[in-house]
């Protein structure tokens, strides 16, 4: 029997595993949310599979997305990173991870919780949507626009409303598995 998945998944086993086990599962750990937000920013202009295939390289090169370590990266470190084909070698994108680490640290050093802040845009729990076709899924919402604006105000970049919505989908803030997807019934049974 064929497993029904969301239409974007395709046949790549890595993509299927990501869809089945990661995408749309609620994430509340602040550092993990920071990593996913940075990786979604790396996706800008590219397909997610490109970043997914490079995720382990990003984790190795960016100290498992430890903001305290990333914030110390200097110009020499950026040049070193730009020579590595294991990541997207785009100066703006590499610098954005460093900039975002500094913004993250400034935010938490003021006594704020990054997870609580991000989850506040959906009221603290997953919003369950009921889309039957990929064409119904939005690319951004008022919530992702508000998140984008708030993150930019804090000093983050590569966090436009479309990137924020993809991030919200990935970390389970919204459940956008289509109603025919086998993950929908599992995820959709949560209270929204």
Chain centroid to Cα 83, Å, comes to 24
Mean pLDDT, residues 153-157: 98
Quick check: is 77 in a domain?
Answer: yes
User: Does residue 7 lie within any of the structural domains?
Assistant: no
Query: What would the pLDDT profile of 65-122 be if each residue is shown by its tens digit?
Result: 999 999 999 999 999 999 999 999 999 999 999 999 999 999 999 999 999 999 999 9
- Does the residue 116 lie in any domain? yes
Q: Reply yes or no on whether the pLDDT at 192 is more than 50.
A: no
Is residue 187 over pLDDT 90? no
Q: What would the pLDDT profile of 106-152 be if each residue is shown by its tens digit?
A: 999 999 999 999 999 999 999 999 999 999 999 999 999 999 999 99
Q: Which domain holds residue 152?
A: 14-188
pLDDT value at residue 2: 80
CA distance 21 to 96: 28
pLDDT value of position 42: 97
Please check whether residue 79 lies inside any domain of the structure. Answer: yes
Q: Supply the CATH number for residue 88's domain.
A: 1.10.340.30
Write the burial class of residue 139 (CB in 10 Å: 0-12 exposed, 13-18 middle, 19+ buried): exposed
Q: Going by C-beta distance under 8 Å and a sequence separation of 6 or more, which residues neighbour residue 123?
A: none
**What's residue 131's pLDDT?**
95
Is 138 exposed, middle or buried (CB count within 10 Å of its CB: 0-12, 13-18, 19+)? middle
Is the pLDDT at 191 greater than 80? The verdict is no
Q: Name the pairing type of β-strands 127-128 and 174-175.
A: parallel
pLDDT score recorded for residue 190 = 40
**pLDDT of the residue at 155:** 98
Q: pLDDT tens for residues 8-53?
A: 998 999 999 999 999 999 999 999 999 999 999 999 989 999 999 9
Q: What is the pTM of this model?
A: 0.93
- Tell me, yes or no, whether 2 lies in a domain: no
Does a structural domain hold residue 27? Answer: yes
CA dihedral (102, 105, 109, 113) in degrees, to 10, reads 140
Count of domains observed in the chain: 1
**4 is a domain residue:** no
| Residue 188 confidence (pLDDT) | 43
pLDDT at site 189: 39
| Terminal-residue alpha carbon distance, the chain | 30
| 51 is a domain residue | yes
pLDDT for the residue 186: 56
Residues with Cβ within 8 Å of 48's Cβ and at least 6 positions away in sequence, in order, are: 166
Two tokens, residue 128: 């369950």
**Residues 6 or more apart in contact with residue 163 via CB below 8 angstroms:** 40, 41, 43, 44, 148
């Amino acid at each position: 029997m064929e497993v029904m998945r969301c239409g974007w998944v395709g046949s790549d086993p890595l993509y299927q595993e990501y869809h089945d086990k990661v995408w749309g599962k609620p994430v509340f750990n602040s550092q993990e949310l920071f990593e996913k937000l940075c990786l979604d920013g790396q996706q800008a202009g590219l397909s997610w599979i490109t970043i997914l295939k490079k995720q382990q390289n990003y984790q190795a090169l960016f100290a498992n997305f430890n903001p305290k370590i990333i914030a110390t990266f200097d110009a020499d470190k950026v040049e070193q990173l730009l020579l590595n084909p294991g990541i997207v070698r785009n100066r703006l994108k590499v610098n954005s991870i460093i900039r975002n680490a500094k913004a993250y640290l400034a935010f938490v050093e003021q006594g704020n919780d990054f997870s609580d802040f991000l989850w506040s845009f959906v009221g603290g729990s997953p919003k369950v949507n009921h889309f039957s076709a990929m064409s119904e899924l939005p690319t951004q919402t008022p919530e992702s626009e508000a998140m984008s604006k708030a993150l930019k105000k804090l000093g983050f970049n590569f966090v436009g409303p479309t990137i924020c919505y993809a991030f919200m989908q990935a970390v389970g803030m919204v459940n956008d598995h289509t109603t025919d997807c086998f993950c929908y019934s599992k995820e959709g049974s949560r209270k929204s």
